[in-house]
Structure 1
Amino acid sequence: MSLFLLLVEDDFDLAATVVQYLELEGMICDHAASGEAGLTLVRENDYDILILDIMLPRLSGIDVCRILRDEGRDLPVLMLTALDTLDDKTAGFSSGTDDYLIKPFDMPELVMRVRALARRRSGQARLLSACDLTLNVDTREAVRSGRKLALTPTGWVLLETLTRSSPAVVTRQRLAQAVWGDDIPETNSLKVHLHNLRREVNKDGMPLLHTVPGHGYRIGPPHETVS
């Protein structure tokens, strides 16, 4: 499947070069020349990666990234900039970017970083949602239908992992690693924790935490396609 990207860059010559190169690599790339236009396109489309210049007119790339994270969007962001001081990089990462590429750059390196980011969703989003479930990562609160969920620390890790990937399926192995790292216990502990989490999450409204036989678990409405 082709990657669907958005490039927000006000240098039209550079943008044309990047878009053309990415398309030669089999990717589909939209272009916006301002932060405002970029925000609009992100809200209207389901992009796999956002390539974002920092120095944009009126609304900077850092502002765009911060707005997207405040909205709870976990779209991976790669920032492009000529600013290469530590303070500049700190500002970029503090706004929620996932990676940073200094201008001028080699196109093969850009492609390498894009493909690496495409293998995961961003971990920078602080507000997560799936249907009527919302998670605030900073306060570690999960709410469904106005009710605050009672979660154990392990339950929170599992729910955050599932919600960040929603509606995609998360394997048992990935969930176990999220909780225990490489020291996964040889017991049915994960099954017990998921049973308790399912009971708490599904208490209100339609079932939201589902087992997908042979694949893993997912958060979302019933009858979603396995991915």
Structure 2
Amino acid sequence: MNQPRSVLLIEDQHDIAANIWDFLERRGYRIDHAADGEAGLAAALRGRFDVIVLDLGLPRLDGLELCRRLRESDRVTPILMLTARDTLDDKLRGFAEGADDYLVKPFAMKELEARIRAVFRRGRPLTGSLVVADLHYDPATLRATRRGVGMALTRAQSVILELLMRRSPQVIAHAELIRAVWGEEGGDQAALHTHVYELRKLVDKPFEQTLIHSVHGVGYRLEAR
């Protein structure tokens, strides 16, 4: 499957939800809709979707908490977060909780579809397990282990880890990592650093040997020293 076809839309504003539903349905997508955070979480845990479109300001359970709970439940479905908030801190919080991309309201429907396709493409892994030192990563399942300890990765973290492992011990430039995660449009170094920080907490923090290394002003490399 080259294009996403099933979308879970979690949005409490009726007019916005109806417009998104109508547009995506005409484009051939299958849409499920939840109008509050608790219903959205239940739907996301119960069903299988190619992409989740998640509003940040939801009743009963806000989007950030919903996103966090999904990632804690080992759900790796790509999440595109919608919000009226356009500050860097808000974006970084969303990425830290496991969102893969961020779209600020108001937005054009064609841009929404482009972002949905982009987060879906980034989540389609290549086959073949990767091993660097005692770190193992399976792109087919998006699961990483180190010394038998499993890690639940977000889609963005998976993209970063896979690129670093495939090219280890080469230094991967910030710009290349940003393009890999967000494409030609979207993303910046601050967002990248947030994702890498969260990835390091999983890959390196519990262990004595550090594998992910910063190269100041250039990028990151993954290697055992």
Unpaired runs of 5+ residues, structure 2, are 145-160, 171-225
Report how many aligned residue pairs link the two structures.
Answer: 148
CA distance in 1, matches of 2:69, 2:168: 35
Q: Quick one: which of 101, 104, 108 aligns to 1:106?
A: 108
Distance change >3 Å, CA 18–CA 98, structure 1 → 2: same
CA distance in 2, matches of 1:14, 1:80: 11
1:161 is matched with 139
Greater radius of gyration (CA): 1
User: What is the CA-CA distance between 1:163 and the residue it aligns to?
Assistant: 3.1
User: What is the CA-CA distance between 1:122 and the residue it aligns to?
Assistant: 8.8
Q: Secondary structure at the match of 1:58?
A: coil
CA distance in 1, matches of 2:109, 2:131: 46
Q: Quick one: which of 181, 189, 204 aligns to 2:167?
A: 181
CA distance in 1, matches of 2:113, 2:79: 14
CA distance in 1, matches of 2:86, 2:113: 20
1:143-168 per-position Cα deviation (integer Å, ceiling 9, x unaligned): xxxxxxxx9734524x34343179xx
In the alignment, does 2:104 pair up with 1:79?
no
1:152-211 per-position Cα deviation (integer Å, ceiling 9, x unaligned): 734524x34343179xxxxxxxx9966342889xxxxxxxxxxxxxxxxxxxxxxxxxxx
TM-score for the superposition, normalised by structure 1: 0.58
1:41 is matched with 43
CA distance in 1, matches of 2:107, 2:36: 21
Q: Give the conservation status (yes or no) of the 8 Å contact 1:161–1:178.
A: no
Query: What letter corresponds to residue 47 of structure 1 in structure 2?
Result: F
Q: Give the conservation status (yes or no) of the 8 Å contact 2:8–2:33.
A: yes
Identity %: 45
Q: Give the conservation status (yes or no) of the 8 Å contact 1:121–1:165.
A: no
2:95 is matched with 93
1:69-94 per-position Cα deviation (integer Å, ceiling 9, x unaligned): 11111110000000001111111111
The structure 1 segments of at least 4 consecutive aligned residues displaced by more than 6 Å after TM superposition are: none
Unpaired runs of 5+ residues, structure 1, are 124-150, 167-174, 185-227
Distance change >3 Å, CA 14–CA 177, structure 1 → 2: closer
CA distance in 2, matches of 1:152, 1:161: 11
Q: Give the conservation status (yes or no) of the 8 Å contact 2:131–2:165.
A: no
User: What is the CA-CA distance between 1:108 and the residue it aligns to?
Assistant: 0.3
In the alignment, does 2:11 pair up with 1:32?
no
Q: Give the conservation status (yes or no) of the 8 Å contact 2:78–2:120.
A: yes
CA distance in 1, matches of 2:94, 2:80: 10
Distance change >3 Å, CA 164–CA 180, structure 1 → 2: closer
Query: What letter corresponds to residue 45 of structure 2 in structure 1?
Result: R
Q: Secondary structure at the match of 1:163?
A: coil
CA distance in 1, matches of 2:140, 2:124: 13
Q: Give the conservation status (yes or no) of the 8 Å contact 2:52–2:79.
A: yes
